[in-house]
Copies of this chain bind each other. A is one copy, B any other.
Amino acid sequence: METPRPLILISNDDSINAPGVHHLADCVRSMGDVYVVAPAHPHSGQSAAMTVGAPLRINEYPCDKEGVRMFTVDGTPVDCVKLALHAIVPRRPDIVLAGINHGSNSGVNVTYSGTMGAVLEGCIEGIPSVGFSLLHHSLKADFKFSTAFVAKIVADVLASGLPDGVCLNVNIPARVMPEGIRVCRATRGKWVDGYKRYLDPQGIPFYWLTGKFVNFEPEAEDTDEYWLRRRYITIVPVKSDQSATDMIKPLADRFDTD
């Protein structure tokens, strides 16, 4: 019996209409059978949100790429991966990919990222999973410099897998041929100046999210932001289990009771 080609499941958070997800399919379709299952509408900043109190629909999306089928789900990136595994793909995927996101998911952004929500879902399912993000927000972003690097990373993960419970968060510098690749940790930082305040026509205030990212450790050579500024692609290994196991003993001394 012939071994089936690898099955590659792709999702994103910018929706099926974002060029990044089509580019990602093009980068990898020579390596296996590709299923793209993406949100019908944009879901940036949706983290690992899932739809618990409403129905979901699946629709096939027209696609003329050989070896690629595309579908939309009217939910979040996590919904896409969950429903793809349940009702769309013909066998268990060999890899789950998400992206290519239009915009950075470096540093603390991994917490809010819908791209990484989809990747964490694949990881929780025990499937090697990788998210890709380009540091360019525009829907007109140019992905051409990313192609060979994305293909190389996906081929490596298809061949060698990933450590149990660990997925990858790949960020790609914009508008340049990358200098290389660095595996590193997420830089520590946060978003500041959070909201712009407006008055509606009745004089009642409303607020719109804004702000800028502040890097608390710009000179730390083991962080993603450090290497992205030097035009490297960064790979941050991300754990699906967030338990701070090194803190259990000291906190048990404070809190354990019988």
Please give the residue numbers on chain A whose beta carbons come within 8 Å of chain B beta carbons, in ascending order.
42, 44-58, 76, 78-79, 82-83, 85-87, 108, 110-112, 114, 117, 120, 124-126, 153, 156, 160, 163, 165-166, 168, 179-186, 188, 190, 194-195, 197-198, 204-209, 222, 235-245, 247-248, 250-252, 254-258
A157 to B40 Cα, complex, angstroms: 43
Q: Given A82-B194, A87-B207, A166-B247, answer yes or no on A47-B49 (Cβ-Cβ < 8 Å).
A: yes
Instruction: Tell me the smallest distance from the CB of A26 to a CB of chain B, in Å.
Output: 22
- In-complex Cβ contact of A244 among B58, B156, B163 (8 A): B163
Q: Could you tell me the distance in whole angstroms from the C-beta of A183 to the nearest C-beta in chain B? A: 4
Best-surrounded residue of A44, A111, A195, A258 (most CB of chain B within 10 A) = A111
Given contacts A45-B51, A49-B46, contact A252 B112 (CB under 8 A): no
Which B residues are CB-close (under 8 A) to A112? Answer: 48-50, 78
Contacts of A240 in B (CB 8 A): 108, 111, 242
- Determine if A257 and B195 form an interchain contact, defined as CB atoms under 8 angstroms apart: no
Chain B residues lying within 8 Å of A108, measured Cβ to Cβ, are: 124, 240-241
CB of B125 within 8 A of CB of A120, answer no
Q: How far is the CA of A251 from the CA of B251 in the complex (A)?
A: 31
Minimum Cβ distance to chain B for residue A194 (Å): 5
Q: List 9 A-B contacts (CB under 8 A).
A: A45-B52, A47-B47, A48-B48, A55-B207, A86-B195, A87-B195, A163-B251, A185-B248, A237-B247
Q: How far is the CA of A232 from the CA of B184 in the complex (A)?
A: 38
- Given A238-B242, A248-B184, the answer on whether A111 and B258 have CB atoms closer than 8 Å is no
Q: Could you say which residues of chain B place their CB within 8 Å of the CB of A52?
A: 44-45, 209
Q: Quick one: closest B residue to A198, CB to CB?
A: B55
> What's the minimum C-beta distance from A72 to chain B, rounded to whole angstroms?
13
Contacts of A124 in B (CB 8 A): 108, 111, 190
Residues of B within 8 A of A244 (CB): 163, 165-166, 237-239
Nearest chain B residue, comparing its CB with the CB of A185: B243
Residues of B within 8 A of A184 (CB): 248
Given contacts A47-B117, A52-B209, are A242 and B186 in contact (CB under 8 A)?
Answer: yes
> Given the complex of chains A and B, what is the CA–CA distance between A50 and B180 in angstroms?
33
A207 & B58 in contact (Cβ 8 Å cutoff): yes
